[in-house]
């Protein structure tokens, strides 16, 4: 699992960078089964609260919140491991992501992403696939950008790809 690279914002809703970085480090260590202190639980992620800097830069609230929602799946006891039935979950328990769509800002071509994600999930779940995906292919994949047409949110797709690369590394 790779630590996310949040953008930095000086205005608007933002979280304190130091607090977020420290919490994300604990999440990554827990997900990778490294001991750097107490493990982070799904409840810790759901109840996380960060200060808002009065002056100076911070991380955008929506980027951090999106990461935290995804991080719940990586932690022990998270939705991907809790044993809840999901028809789209494969043999290894890796389920299909739900990406937000965008129209008025740049996004990724939906058909290209769907096709690639289908191959990633089949590979990660050990299902038969004509062209198994490698971690290097995930790292180097490029999707066509779309503007003014419906596309997938770039940050969400990239976050999923970072996670998927860890599955196959």
Can you give the residue ranges of every domain in the chain? 1-84, 88-169
CA distances for 98 relative to 51, 101, 114, 117, 160, angstroms: 29, 9, 10, 11, 10
Does this model's pTM top 0.75? My answer is no
Helix (H) or strand (E) holding 126: none
| Residue 128 neighbours by CB under 8 Å, 6+ apart | 122
Mean pLDDT of the region 77-96: 47
Name the token pair of 39: 């493990």
Q: What is the DSSP letter of 58?
A: B
The pLDDT of residue 168 is above 70: yes
pLDDT averaged over every residue in the chain? 83
List the one residue out of 4, 11, 6 whose CA is nearest residue 53: 11
pLDDT digits (tens, 9 = 90+) for 97-143: 888 899 889 999 999 999 999 999 888 888 888 889 999 999 999 99
When pLDDT is cut at 50, 70 and 90, the band that residue 86 belongs to is very low
Please report the pLDDT score of residue 41 as a whole number. Answer: 87
Angle of helix 61-71 relative to helix 17-31, nearest 10 degrees?
A: 20
């Amino acid at each position: 699992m790779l630590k996310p690279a949040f953008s930095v914002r000086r205005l608007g809703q933002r979280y304190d960078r130091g607090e977020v970085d420290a919490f994300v480090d604990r999440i990554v260590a827990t997900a990778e089964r490294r001991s750097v202190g107490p493990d982070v639980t799904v409840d810790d992620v759901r109840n996380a609260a960060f200060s808002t800097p009065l002056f100076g830069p911070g991380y955008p609230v929506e980027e951090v919140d999106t990461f935290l929602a995804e991080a719940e799946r990586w932690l022990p006891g998270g939705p991907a491991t809790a044993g809840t039935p999901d028809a789209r979950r494969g043999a290894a328990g890796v389920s299909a992501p739900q990406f937000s769509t965008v129209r008025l800002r740049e996004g990724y071509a939906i058909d290209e992403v769907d096709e690639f994600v289908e191959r990633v999930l089949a590979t990660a779940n050990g299902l038969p696939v004509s062209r198994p995906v490698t971690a290097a292919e995930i790292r180097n994949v490029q999707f066509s950008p779309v503007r003014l047409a419906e596309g997938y949110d770039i940050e969400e797709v990239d976050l999923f790809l970072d996670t998927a690369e860890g599955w196959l590394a």
